[in-house]
Amino acid sequence: MSSSVISNFPINKKWPARHPERLQLYSLPTPNGVKVSIMLEETGLPYEPHLVNFETNDQMSPEFLSLNPNNKIPAIIDPQGPGNKPLALFESGAILLYLADKTGLCIPTDAAERYECIQWLMFQMGGIGPMFGQLGFFNKFAGKAYEDKRPRDRYVAESKRLLGVVNERLADRKWIMGDTYTIADIATFPWIRNLIGFYEAGDLVGINDFPHVQRALAEFVGRPAVQRGLLIPGRG
């Protein structure tokens, strides 16, 4: 693959590709960011990670906005996309689905099970991510100083409800889709890990009341590809 393929993208001016033949990842090791780095580690696809540093507002730079006008990580460029043409994508759920289809890994081949897996991916994108993120804001960041705790408690209650849904799903299954590890797990467990770790909300949501979640989370974090992906891109 010619280096000119990647160099045609404006983002290459700020984050030059040393290996333009590889998939390019623009990210940060947040729950959404590590979904993609974990998936890439699980599949073994060759890729080159680039750190998008929020402390210097990299996500607001013209170069990054040329790839994702919504100024959120992660984003990718695959120089060998469909039809062997370069493909740029943002939104972590869309990227997970693309990588699963590209490799045939971490997604069921049966049509009905495939849609069920996508259903649980959407459940994470529409519920777990936004709700846990709001709880993190009100528990650890600027919202912590708010005297009125009703907003925080609203997100605590919803986070508990969502954890209950996942806990019930895992009561008789190893993973969200059963015995098979999929993008539904890769999407969900980084957020649960972040909720009880970085956001320091484990006691608030009563994480000990969700033993099946805890069991699956421990198994998820123990996977070598997950351990690697949680640190990519390195913060320097």
End-to-end CA distance of the chain: 29
User: Around Cβ 57, how many Cβ atoms within 10 Å?
Assistant: 11
**Mind listing the pLDDT tens digit for each residue in 34-93?**
999 999 999 999 999 999 999 999 999 999 999 999 999 999 999 999 999 999 999 999
User: Around Cβ 35, how many Cβ atoms within 10 Å?
Assistant: 28
**Mind listing the pLDDT tens digit for each residue in 140-184?**
998 888 999 999 999 999 999 999 999 999 999 999 999 999 999
Which two three-digit tokens encode residue 47? 């890729």
The alpha carbon torsion through 97, 101, 104, 108 (nearest 10 deg) reads 60
pLDDT tops 50 at residue 1: no
Q: Max alpha carbon distance in the chain (Å)? A: 57
pLDDT at residue 235, as a whole number = 82
**How far apart are the C-alpha atoms of 162 and 7, rounded to whole Å?**
43
Q: What letter does residue 54 receive in the DSSP assignment?
A: G
**How far apart are the C-alpha atoms of 160 and 177, rounded to whole Å?**
21
- Indicate the pLDDT class of residue 4, thresholds 50, 70 and 90: low
* pTM exceeds 0.85 for this model: yes
**How far apart are the C-alpha atoms of 85 and 5, rounded to whole Å?**
9
Q: Calculate the alpha carbon distances from 97 to 7, 36, 92, 183, 230 in Å.
A: 26, 10, 9, 7, 19
User: Around Cβ 107, how many Cβ atoms within 10 Å?
Assistant: 21
pLDDT at residue 93, as a whole number = 98
